[in-house]
């Protein structure tokens, strides 16, 4: 049985979450995760990327992966890669994307250490979509 806590009124963005079990001393284990808090959307003009596609293959990957996305609406789009600590490691697309067109980019990670990374897709209207990447060497 453990304690849980609900947090409210968090600012939009990435949060690092630490979960520690009830063990004592050397038996205690901590798991680290990452959680995204979406921006609140209300009112007219509300749009969604629910139909947008974002994928990476292969994933996990060892040096190079292909990142693919498509949108349901035209607009300025940014696709960037972030390390688990929230630091941007690459910007792979920053241009106008056409609706229903598939975009493919190669992401070379030979200079990065093994670990978990995140693809962050942001459209002109502020909506976002995320995909986890696992780099193994």
Residue 10 lies in a domain: no
Q: Does residue 34 form part of some domain?
A: no
- Asked whether residue 23 is assigned to any structural domain, the reply reads no
pLDDT digits (tens, 9 = 90+) for 3-46: 666 777 666 677 777 777 777 777 778 777 777 766 654 444 34
Domain that holds residue 85: 53-135
Domain count, the chain: 1
Mean pLDDT over 58-82 rounds to 93
| CATH number of the structural domain spanning residue 65 | 2.60.40.10
* pLDDT at position 44: 40
- Taking CA atoms, 31 is separated from 5, 10, 23, 34, in Å, by 16, 21, 13, 10
* Cα 87 to Cα 89: distance, rounded to the nearest angstrom: 6
Predicted TM-score of the model (pTM) = 0.64
- Residue 27 lies inside a defined structural domain of this protein: no
């Amino acid at each position: 049985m453990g304690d849980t806590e609900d947090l409210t009124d968090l600012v939009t963005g990435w949060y690092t979450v630490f979960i520690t079990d009830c063990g004592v001393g050397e038996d205690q284990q901590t798991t680290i995760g990452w959680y995204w808090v979406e921006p609140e959307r209300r009112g007219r003009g509300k749009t969604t990327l629910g139909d947008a596609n974002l994928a990476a293959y292969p994933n996990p990957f060892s040096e190079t992966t292909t990142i693919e996305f498509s949108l349901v609406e035209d607009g300025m789009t940014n696709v960037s890669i972030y390390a688990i600590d929230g630091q941007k490691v690459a910007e792979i697309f920053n241009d106008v994307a056409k609706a229903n067109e598939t975009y493919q980019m190669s992401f070379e990670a030979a200079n990065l250490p093994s670990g978990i990374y995140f693809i962050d897709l942001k459209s002109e209207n502020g909506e976002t979509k995320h995909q986890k990447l696992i780099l193994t060497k």
